[in-house]
Amino acid sequence: MAYRDFQHFLQALESAGELKKISEPVSPYLEITEITDRVVKKAGPALLFENVVGPSHRLGTADPLSAVMNHPSIHPSARPTDSRKYDFPVAINTMATRKRMSMALSCDDFEEHAARIAALLKPEIPSGPVAALKKLPWLLGEMKNVPPKTVSSGKCQEIVWQGDEIDLYKLPVLTCWPEDGGPFVTLPLVFTNDPNTGKRNVGMYRIQIHDKNTCGMHWQMHKTGMRQMEDAGKKGKNLEVCVVLGGDPAYTFSAISPLPPGIDEMLFAGFLRKENVELVKAKTVDIMVPADAEMVIEGYVDPSERRLEGPFGDHTGYYSLAEDFPVLHVTAITMRPKAVYPATIVGQPPMEDGWMGKAVERIFLPMINLTVPEIVDMNLPVEATFHNMAFVSIKKKYPGHAYKVMNAIWGLGGLAFTKFVFIFDEDCNVQDIGECLFRIGANCDPSRDTLQSKGPVDQLDHASVAEGFGGKMGFDCTHKWPGENGFRRHYPKLITMAEDVVKRVDEMWGRLEL
């Protein structure tokens, strides 16, 4: 079942016992992060902070935030230095377990979507006309409600701030970590249109609040948003932008998904939720946005303008350094009545983004198999922040096969950023890190079974030799074949128990009371 909006999702979480409401006055400056970090580390519930008070970051700095001390809305129970009370509750940690991530995608387990994609990508050839007709209703049902549709109005535009009404400091934007450069919008869906083709792109890029009507747009060098802004600059034009907050959580997942070029994120969201995404035209820019969003920040980016953005406590577990990035000028903020502000935090794993990344890994494995069909399974460990390491099992068919897969992975979209790739035989459970470490130690000789390469890495990787460019290494942890890569010795067998003994012990196991 698709969610009507983000608040419908929150209601579903509450009904399932997955949401904790907090009435205690809590500040968006560091306090929400500290509470959420403790909860996410123990796989605790989603949180709804109903009484958000205080400035979004430290007072006394050079920006206009210091003016909140004179704000007319003074909460009587607030701390003396926390004089602002926000009109919007903050929802966070909503997708931080497998169950909640699956609920966000309107299913019992997100592997269901992987099976749906696999069935579409590798359809079985019908045995005859009758079988083809039987399958047709399923295919039509999968695709019927996928395309987004335009509507004339939406909840997200029932309240409109323009001109002097625009004030980003009225939103409970979090300052997550002590050395952050300011408050950051951490769960934004950034809508842009390609200046050459008009095609929509939806990505997730952090947004730093600079002042009441400008923000930093963290478009990294490898991202589609940066390419579109550069193309707009070549035409001498600004790039229009909408930052969407909330809506069906399927939109959020679609924004972080490694979709093939040309696949619209809102089309994919319709596939996930099995219901069309309804889009409405923004008030001040020519961009279509989800009608059920909680809030929309509209504006434009001047391709020639840069401003210092950061530092930011990032998903790497370290602060990403301050750099010059594009600036978003806000032309309107629209919202629904009684809107909820959705947020997340990143930092030392595990964090909420761990389950978001795991869902991406599982759901998109069938697409990876189209290009690299020998891959049996893949694990991008959350402990390595996903893009740094990959454990991959393959159906090995020939000497050197592991090296072929390493190079294929380094040529696959976001997987190109993977620094360490470990290749195992198909009988290795790559989801079990302990088993992977056993196979690495047992089957890999560093002088023979490694491959070094260079290429693009995450721009936030502070260890790389240059920004956005660095080294990569692959490890062949498979059993070696005779003569493979100079191997001349007899390769031993993995220790396993006889199948008949396993069966007999299985039958008596209940009687043993062990």
* Cα separation, 310 vs 183, whole angstroms: 10
Residue 314 among the catalytic residues:
yes
Handedness of CA 459, 464, 465, 470 (dihedral sign): negative
**Crossing angle between the packed helical segments 265-273 and 249-256, to the nearest 10 degrees:** 130
Opening angle at CA 474, ends 469 and 478, nearest 5? 165
* Cα separation, 453 vs 488, whole angstroms: 26
Give me the residues paired with residue 29 across strands. Answer: 175
Calculated CA dihedral for residues 474, 478, 484, 490, nearest 10 degrees: 140
**Crossing angle between the packed helical segments 111-121 and 352-363, to the nearest 10 degrees:** 30
Tokens of 96: 């931080």
Which of 212, 226, 216 shows the shortest CA–CA distance to 181?
Answer: 216
Give me the residues paired with residue 372 across strands. Answer: none
* Cα separation, 247 vs 202, whole angstroms: 14
Query: Catalytic pick from 5, 82, 264, 314?
Result: 314
Tokens of 392: 């991959």
* DSSP for residue 26: B
Whether cis (ω within 30° of 0) applies to the bond prior to 72 is no
Instruction: Write out the catalytic residue numbers.
Output: 314
